[in-house]
Chain A
């Protein structure tokens, strides 16, 4: 399973390194979203700093939808999906590999977005540990659910519109928890809030969906 996961993740990341679609299109898009939020909230710094945590996670969610779409667009051409199924790789390995590749790309996007939030919105980070743990757990959860829904929508003609509609409500807990954890880490949240329960919630979310994915990806591949 782990070896298959490495193979699949390597394949996806190699394609990304050569095509640079996520880096050249999704990353600028995420930064455009940050700029749009700034336009919407006005030129004053105060509301932007106040909303920075939530805006970061909303931008991550949007970027996640695009990264998942890209990841499964790779499979749609040249009969790659059938090739992958015929390859005899463990479905759980394929799931983990695709999720890992999406997670790596999301991490790059999050670094860019975090820099954007700090530079353009003027947010100050008080607790780097909370920021990093929230990003790691959130990324794992988003990548796991994203891979599941990406595979579910892959064979469908209306996938571009279906995927965000299915994916975004399900990842709402990541947005809630990530925002709260970041608010604590940036010192902009309501007083007396601790980051720990939110980080734990994100870890549980990631663990649950990784487990569901490992179990269900075999039957899921047959549905595409």
Chain B
């Protein structure tokens, strides 16, 4: 089976992989060893270098790409299998990042709030987003004609994406306790240390790069698995025909 990528693309992806792994490693090093503990939060502040970057990738980047790709697939002028695969890849990688956002948030919440989970606005809407994403993945796994699947998933993604701002507003009105702002609140830490700001920035860059790398790999797997589905049927058909020849 030939690779779905040209030699040059493979090299670009390899460089992307190397850069993202190195930058994540640098974030870990800066976040755990170089940056000082916070006056108020102590060592807990180190979660700030991973939690917001994960949330940014999960809530905005991944879900945004999935929603826009689904819309582009639905619009007949831009319809191509590329958008379907991109939406699937972004949603799947995004689901992992949403789950990680919730887990790192819970780890931060336990010592800070005293509980693993609080029914706070952002937590609740992120949890709902995770369920919506899992719903998309469930739609994705339904066997059937690839074109029907693409259509079903694209429509499912659009219906879910429309819900996201409504969920956001309703849950916000429902309850707002999130302490996230205090981390960067200037009242509590009047001068955010230079290294801390740079580490946070690097966190955003490195997680975005890691997301991009995972996205390309997941896309490639999607292409290959689509191809296997096609070939399996072909092989089965050929075997069946050859039975007739004997």
Contacts and interface: CB of A to CB of B under 8 A. Distances in A.
- Whether chain B is bound by chain A comes out as yes
Interface of A: 145, 148-149, 152, 155-158, 162, 165-166, 169-170, 172-173, 176-177, 180, 197-198, 201, 204-205, 208-209, 212, 216, 219-220, 222-223
B132 interface: yes
Contacts of B19: none
Interface of B: 74, 128, 131-132, 134-135, 138-139, 142, 144, 148, 151-152, 155-156, 158-160, 162-163, 166-167, 169-171, 173-174
A208 B135 contact: no
Contact of A220 (B131, B135, B144, B155): B155
A152 B135 contact: no
A212 B132 contact: no
A209 B167 contact: no
Given A173-B167, A180-B174, A148 B159 contact: yes
For the residues of A in contact with B, the DSSP-based class is helix
A198 B166 CA distance: 12
Contacts, number: 78
Contact of A176 (B135, B151, B162, B174): B174
Contacts of B159: 145, 148-149, 152, 170, 209, 212, 216
Contact of B162 (A166, A177, A197, A209): A209
Contacts of A177: 170
Contact of A170 (B144, B163, B169): B163
A68 B133 CA distance: 22
B158 A152 contact: no
Given A152-B156, A162-B138, A170-B159, A176 B128 contact: no
Contacts of A205: 166
Contacts of B74: 216, 219
Nearest to A201: B170
Contacts of B151: 219-220, 222-223
Contacts of B148: 155, 222-223
Contacts of A155: 148
